[in-house]
């Protein structure tokens, strides 16, 4: 009885260990990249005389068949294999026999998985770069349309000075532009091929690593076989760049959530991108923006998780590194989903321009300009600051904007005011006199829009290799 139970226990344990160790449930995600890497490896082996041309052709045809069958759904990637590498090799041997057994010549799963992950990551960077590019295009269109849409600019979430919607959106344009340039930098730095590094110490076969690197679109082979199989830096810096993208999306989402409140009503999110409440019929909730803000934590988590996984690992490969995959895949999918939905939401969002302008007027955002008016009429700035402070107090008591006071009222505060004060504190003047490069004035804004249009042309999105 005990023996029976014991035997059963051992089997169960074996199964648990097997499942704990296996990675196929998630590394099947890069089946395409795995087969692509194998095909390049086999071509190289034949070029170097390690395989015959017949063997090469048999293996290539075999892998192509497997790829086609997986894509069509005829062949299922099942959990009975430990990982995607074992799956492909086992099916290949099953289908073509002996030549299939030569596929793994001069290769280890360590350099194989390092390659697969890099190929997959490269494709993901390309996709994400394209999505950030789409967001930039929407932002640029909105900027062009709104160089005269006045709104309050905030500091401390208090109305500060008038700006335009183009200017506000332009701030995000700059952030996402930097995000794209970070993706490009990372791509360039990571684009070296680890294949041919073996388990950790290279191999005794005369492999041509330059050739496989070239076949797979890399800038060249990596230069240290130990580093090649244990480098995950590129994922860490990518997760950092993705965290920054999410942080930017989250800040933008937070603003949209505020702008969408009943109190602000600066924007109206399209029905397609909002949701209702099951109990409160009046509600139209900004769920997409909230979810983007919420999902930011997952991507930060992935970065922290991988940094922690890597920190104690001696060279070279350790199984801990298998943990790089699930969380990175989740981050890729999260960022892509958030970018696509956020861009759609922004593209279809209605801006209540009149409400925005009214809000800028009601918040004394022209107080600095009123002080500047006094300065231009000979009042020292510190005195002008005090006078306008008293003026604002008076306005609050009267529940009026500065420009709504009569000249007599203005003169009771300071005799320096003349009729041209109204022109000086109008929204148009306040905004359009701000003409330093990067400021909201229409001419300055148009200059920046033109520079950014040129930047877009000079920095096309990445293409799949
Ligand atoms: N599934 C493994 C990973 O993702 C593949 C490499 C296995 N190498 C090894 N020595 N067990 O890291």
DSSP secondary structure letters along 8-68: HHHHHHHHHHHHHH--HHHHGGGHHHHHHHHHHHHHHHHHTTSS-HHHHHHHHHHHHHHHH
> 16-28: per-residue pLDDT in tens?
899 999 999 999 9
Which tokens in the block code for residue 287? 């769920």
> 424-442: per-residue pLDDT in tens?
999 999 999 999 999 999 9
Question: Which residues does a 6 A CB cutoff place in the pocket of ligand 1?
Answer: 23, 27, 83, 109-110, 113, 317, 319, 321-322
Q: What sign has the CA pseudo-torsion 140, 142, 146, 150? A: negative
Compute φ and ψ for 343, nearest 5 degrees. Answer: -65, -40
Average pLDDT over every residue of 110-126 = 98
What pairing do the DSSP bridges indicate for beta strands 267-268 and 350-351? Answer: antiparallel
Closest CA to 176 of 147, 145, 139: 139
Average pLDDT over every residue of 230-259 = 98
This prediction's pTM: 0.94
Pocket test for ligand 1, best of 26, 33, 34, 109 (most atoms within 8 A of CB): 109
Average pLDDT over every residue of 241-251 = 98
Q: Is 277 a catalytic residue?
A: yes
Which tokens in the block code for residue 280? 């409160």
Which tokens in the block code for residue 12? 């169960």
3: confidence class by pLDDT, cuts 50, 70, 90: very low
CA of 207 to the centre of ligand 1 (A): 22
- Taking the CA atoms of residue 292, residue 250, residue 340 and residue 121 in that order, the dihedral angle to the nearest 10 degrees is -100
| Structural domains of the chain sorted by starting position, each given as residue range(s) with its CATH number in brackets | 6-105 (1.10.275.10), 110-144+161-358 (1.20.200.10), 361-457 (1.10.40.30)
Among candidate residues 41, 104, 108, 156, the one labeled active-site is: 156
Closest CA to 324 of 339, 340, 302, 345: 302
416: confidence class by pLDDT, cuts 50, 70, 90: very high
DSSP string across 224-248: -HHHHHH--HHHHHHHHHHHHHHHH
Q: Is 359 a catalytic residue?
A: no
Is the model's pLDDT at 4 over the cut of 60? no
């Amino acid at each position: 009885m005990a023996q029976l139970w014991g035997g059963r226990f051992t089997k169960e344990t074996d199964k648990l260990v097997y499942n704990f160790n296996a990675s196929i449930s998630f590394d099947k995600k890069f089946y395409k990249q795995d087969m692509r890497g194998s095909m390049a490896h086999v071509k190289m082996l034949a070029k170097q005389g390690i395989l015959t041309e017949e063997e090469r052709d048999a293996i290539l045809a075999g892998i192509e068949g497997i790829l086609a069958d997986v894509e069509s759904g005829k062949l299922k990637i099942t959990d009975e294999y430990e990982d995607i590498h074992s799956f492909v090799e086992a099916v290949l041997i099953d289908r073509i026999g002996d030549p299939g057994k030569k596929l793994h010549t001069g290769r280890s799963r360590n350099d194989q998985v390092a390659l697969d992950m890099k190929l997959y990551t490269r494709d993901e960077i390309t996709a994400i770069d394209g999505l950030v590019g789409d967001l930039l295009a929407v932002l640029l269109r909105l900027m062009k349309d709104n160089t005269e849409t006045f709104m309050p600019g905030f500091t401390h979430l208090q109305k500060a000075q008038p700006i335009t919607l183009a200017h506000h959106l332009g701030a995000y344009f700059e952030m996402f532009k930097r995000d794209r340039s970070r993706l490009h930098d990372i791509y360039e730095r990571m684009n070296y091929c680890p294949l041919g590094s073996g388990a950790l110490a290279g191999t005794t076969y005369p492999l041509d690593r330059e050739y496989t690197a070239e076949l797979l679109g890399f800038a060249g082979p990596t230069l240290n076989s130990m580093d090649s199989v244990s480098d995950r830096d590129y994922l860490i810096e990518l997760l950092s760049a993705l965290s920054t993208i999410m942080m930017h999306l989250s800040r933008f989402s937070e603003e949209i959530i505020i702008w969408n409140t009943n109190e602000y009503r600066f924007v109206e999110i399209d029905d397609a991108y909002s949701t209702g409440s099951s109990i409160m019929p009046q509600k139209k909730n900004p769920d997409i923006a909230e979810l983007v803000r919420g999902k930011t934590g997952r991507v930060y988590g992935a970065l922290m998780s991988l940094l922690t996984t890597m920190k104690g690992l001696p060279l070279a490969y350790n199984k801990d590194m298998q943990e790089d995959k699930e969380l990175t895949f989740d981050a890729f999918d999260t960022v892509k989903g958030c970018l696509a939905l956020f861009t759609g939401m922004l593209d279809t969002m209605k801006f209540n321009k009149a409400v925005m302008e009214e809000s800028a007027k009601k918040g004394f955002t022209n107080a600095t300009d009123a002080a500047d008016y006094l300065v231009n009429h000979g009042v020292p700035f510190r005195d002008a600051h005090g006078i306008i402070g008293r003026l604002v107090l008076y306005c609050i008591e009267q529940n009026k904007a500065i420009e709504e006071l009569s000249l007599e009222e203005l003169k009771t505060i300071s005799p320096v005011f003349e009729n041209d004060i109204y022109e000086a504190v109008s929204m148009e003047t306040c905004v359009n006199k701000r003409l330093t490069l990067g400021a909201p004035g229409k001419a300055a804004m148009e200059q920046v829009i033109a520079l950014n249009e040129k930047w877009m042309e000079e920095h096309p999105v990445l293409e799949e290799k």
